[in-house]
Structure 1
Amino acid sequence: MDPVLLTGELTLHGRVMPASNATFVGEIGGRRVIYKPVAGERPLWDFPDGTLAAREEAAYLVSVATGWDIVPLTFQREGPHGPGMVQLWQEPDPVQEAVTLVSGHDVPDGWRHVFDGLDDRDHVVSLIHEDTPELRRMAVFDAVVNNADRKGGHVLAMPGGHRYGVDHGLTFHVEHKLRTVLWGWAGELLSDEDRAVLELLADSLDADLGERLVDLVTYHEVEATRRRLKRLLRVGALPEPGQGWRAIPWPPF
């Protein structure tokens, strides 16, 4: 990491509105960043331990360990409103959409259907997402970190086909809380690539990665991550929505 990002002046240019937690757009050494101060986090009854900023950094470390580059560079440092999470800004392609709504049940080729609903005029619409390896990797990643908030707007469709995921403050809970709009591969078998990456990730969790995560989330949450990873490999398939919890984040966008 460029040391300037850790020590350079963080200048704020504006606040992202609306956002449930204080989120600012800023700049460090000429590089645009997102800054979320811990002081601006809204307390959550079901995520009482630690900070959302630490969970975002933990998700980044898991992303690095996979080699899939799902989470943009994320770290913690001091800022104008105290310590918080800083993430390198990524500018998505304005003409691409990885997750969207279509009228009726008209799912085009190359897309996966997630669920149907009604719009503000009571017309049937379907939530769909693209069927690409880049987005599928994000679905596998979310299953590992137990992402409780994968909204459509948290997927950045980058030029050239890469897909970044952002907003990982609601991750690593010990209870199963996977809430996502990326259910299009639910129940499908893991690919050879998935298995190879997950096996390497399991090894990393038993070594340096596990030690680093314990500094960011609780010991029990790291152990729960190990168990989820082992279960994924044992079952050999992506998880499916189950009974007893809300499987789609609200709002989905």
Structure 2
Amino acid sequence: MPAPERVPEVGLTTGTQPAADPRDIEALLHGELTVRGQIRDASNAVLYCESTHQGRTVTCVYKPVRGERPLWDFPDGTLAEREVAAYLVSEATGWGLVPPTVLRDGPYGEGMVQLWIESAESVEDDDGDDASAGNGDSGDNGNDDAAGNDADSAGEGPGALLALTEDTEPAPGWKAVVEAQLEGGGRALLVHADDIRLRRLAVLDAVLNNADRKGGHFLPTADGRLYGIDHGVTFHTDDKLRTLLWGWAGEPLPDDAVAVLGKLAADLSGALGEQLAGLLTPAETSALRARVQRLLEGGVHPAPSGDWPSIPWPPV
């Protein structure tokens, strides 16, 4: 079970992704929202929809607030707002790691609406129809992923982002996460790709205090982009970072990440802070500012704190 050979991402030497099409955001915000199906087995209600505005139709997911399952550690009815806040912070970084996400009214009341992203891990079913993985929902910090969001980013094919290997050390191009015990008593090393897109996502997660970054929450696309989804359990005031992206823990932050964090700190005292004030509590916004400042002062990727389960399991 060796780790797969890494295949370089074409045209992503900087890791920067093109900005979202403003027409897509307008369609998400103002379009007529039509439900076409439901993402089954999700922890919360996740509806597959189309939104049409001024002749433009986009596919999207709609997560109504009334379909959110209460959590023991997050205030009820706040997951949609946290998802939108995560998108706004991602946009402020300039990295474009979260699909366009808005808060709006829909057929089942207010909810989060997010542009649907087709994952590169598309497969053909027996009838020859595409069965593509895309934005699903695991909903909270510890529940199973939704069907439709179990893209095999943990697989061992070319371009894989996660892998299990029997080697005791990660191969070149990979970073060790944790040693895992397999069914039957065997052990394997969980590794993730040493990929600039994942590294930037790790920085973003540290800023967001993401409590549930599983492999199924990575959406690599056919054109080489990478998106992170399912940000409902973010922005808690307590340290709840739980992720598979620990491979850079303790390493110095890249120069570009330091520059982005500096800009983010300034933005949080201006327009971004004002936007987030309508989505997060003052305490949560204050904790966000403090996390950015700690990252800047420490200058390194954070390590697991030991006070909170640091790895989501299973990893997909």
The TM-score by the shorter chain falls in which range? over 0.9
Matched, 1:32 2:32: no
How far apart, CA to CA, are the structure 1 residues paired with 2:27 and 2:179? 47
Q: CA deviation at 1:49?
A: 5.7
How far apart, CA to CA, are the structure 2 residues paired with 1:98 and 1:160? 15
Structure 2 partner of 1:191: 254
1:34-72 per-residue CA deviation (whole Å, 9 max, x = no partner) reads 111101101112111651000000000000000000100
Q: CA deviation at 1:166?
A: 0.2
Structure 1 partner of 2:225: 162
Structure 2 partner of 1:18: 41
Structure 2 partner of 1:247: 310
How far apart, CA to CA, are the structure 2 residues paired with 1:81 and 1:105? 50
- Normalized per residue, the structure richer in helix is 1
Retained in 2: the 8 A contact 1:114–1:128?
Answer: yes
Residues 211-220 or 121-130, more deviating = 121-130
Letter matched to residue 223 of structure 1: S
Detail structure 1 runs of 4+ shifted over 3 Å in the superposition: 102-108
Structure 2 partner of 1:138: 201
The TM-score normalised by the length of structure 2 is 0.77
Letter matched to residue 120 of structure 1: E
SS of 2:247 mapped into structure 1: helix
Matched, 1:219 2:282: yes
1:201-241 per-residue CA deviation (whole Å, 9 max, x = no partner) reads 00000001011111101010000011111111001101001
Name the Cα RMSD after superposition: 1.5
SS of 1:101 mapped into structure 2: strand
The TM-score normalised by the length of structure 1 is 0.95
Residues 232-241 or 160-169, more deviating = 160-169
Q: CA deviation at 1:109?
A: 2.2
Letter matched to residue 284 of structure 2: E
Letter matched to residue 16 of structure 1: I
Paired residues, number: 253
Retained in 2: the 8 A contact 1:104–1:124?
Answer: no
Q: Which runs of 5+ in 1 are unaligned?
A: none
How far apart, CA to CA, are the structure 2 residues paired with 1:111 and 1:142? 19
1:162-219 per-residue CA deviation (whole Å, 9 max, x = no partner) reads 2110000000011111000000000110111011000000000000101111110101
How far apart, CA to CA, are the structure 2 residues paired with 1:84 and 1:18? 19
Structure 2 partner of 1:61: 88
Structure 2 partner of 1:70: 97
The percent of aligned pairs where both chains have the same amino acid is 52
Q: Which runs of 5+ in 2 are unaligned?
A: 1-21, 122-156
SS of 2:112 mapped into structure 1: strand
Q: CA deviation at 1:8?
A: 1.9
Distance 1:74 1:204, change over 3 A: same
Q: CA deviation at 1:104?
A: 5.1
Retained in 1: the 8 A contact 2:65–2:77?
Answer: no
Structure 2 partner of 1:233: 296
How far apart, CA to CA, are the structure 2 residues paired with 1:214 and 1:49? 18
Residues 108-117 or 56-65, more deviating = 108-117
